[in-house]
Amino acid sequence: MSLPDTRDVVKRLSHAHYVANSLLCAVLPALLLLALHSSPTVTTALVAALALLALSVGLRKSSDNIESLHESVTFQLRLFNLFGLFFLRNEIGITKGWVLAYFAAWMVCSFLFPQPSYLGPHKLKVLTPESFDTHILLLSPAKYVHLDEPKIVELPDEPSDQSAPLASSPPDPTQFHLVLFYADYDKKSRDLELTLARLSNELATSQLDFCVLDSAKAPTTFYDLGISTSPMAFDIPQLRLYRGGKVVQQYPLSEGEARRKMRRERSTKLEEDLGVKAGTIESDDGSEDEGAESDAESEDEREVQRIRDMSRFKWDRKRTFRLRERAGLLPQNS
């Protein structure tokens, strides 16, 4: 079991959000240590806390961020403190009011100190609707007509030889852009933002850059792209890899990609059942509205939805998009 990347860990975890959550985890152990007459309780509580901490660390994936690991561990330990204060209040010598005060302090810290963005060095670009259109989709910037009152301007006797500098260099159509569409209220969105920020410091090159677009700042863009911001739609977070203004790949899978994957899986299964060479049976790449029977179409729709749902969880954040290859770096030997 390997721990997440711990570079710049002090800077990344020095925010008031992480400090407050850590302090809330120490309330019950501190009170138990002060209650000298309850040594068996102290031993039991400390053993349970260590077991809970070890279990939490063991269940985390090696690719997670240290911030996500801290959130998972401290959340479980805060629950341990809350229930421990309630059930051990007689041994500690406190009332239910102290338990409610602890819960209130937990809620206040959550509202006053929300989880921040990645605090370490990164090259993650925050997009606006205008920069997304021009930098990612390669659309011409919108021109607005300003109807001002006419003014008399004196022209110089000789024209100036100096031309006005360009506002910005034109976007490169061959560059890859990995864009995260996220919402600040979604925990998975925050985790992915932390991951992309950390990876951007390692993999961002002239051939690949990392960008984020917030749903609260670009609701019209999300609507135009067909990405629902409703928590019940499960469209957020979403990662899309762009090149030349077009989507090269995305996760979770789009409906078309899910259909192609379904056909490949069925062709592979049929080849295995018939014992023929792989690739002999080609899948039908007809239009989406083709189908023999309505029952078969309904089954296909359910299978497509299942594949799309599973793609939200089963994918590797580095290898799925081949980031090292897109960035022009040598692939890692696994």
Contacts of 24 (CB under 8 A, 6+ apart): 74, 78, 81, 102, 105, 106, 109
Q: Is the pLDDT of residue 102 over 90?
A: yes
Average pLDDT rounded to a whole number, residues 26-38: 77
pLDDT at residue number 11: 87
Between 194 and 300, whose confidence is greater?
194
Local confidence band at 162 (pLDDT 50, 70, 90 cut-offs) = very low
Question: Which of the given ranges, 2-11, 185-194, 210-219, has the highest pLDDT on average?
Answer: 210-219
Average pLDDT rounded to a whole number, residues 154-181: 63
pLDDT at residue number 317: 56
pLDDT at residue number 212: 93
Strands (E), the chain: 124-126, 176-182, 208-214, 238-243, 246-251
Strands 238-243 and 246-251: antiparallel
Burial status of residue 87 (CB atoms within 10 A of its CB: 0-12, 13-18, 19 or more): exposed
Supply the mean pLDDT for the chain.
Answer: 75
Kindly tell me the sign of the dihedral angle through the C-alpha atoms of 3, 4, 5, 11.
negative
Which tokens belong to 153?
């301007």
pLDDT at residue number 16: 93
Distance CA 131, CA 212 (A): 11
Cβ-contact 119, 14 below 8 angstroms? yes
Lowest mean pLDDT among 2-11, 46-55, 75-84, 317-326: 46-55
Q: What is the value of pTM for the model shown?
A: 0.69
Identify any residues that bridge with 241 across adjacent strands, giving them in sequence order: 178, 249
What digits encode the pLDDT tens for the residues 222-252?
888 888 888 776 778 888 899 998 988 888 7
pLDDT at residue number 167: 42
- Please give the backbone phi and psi of residue 308, each rounded to the nearest 5 degrees, phi first: -65, -40
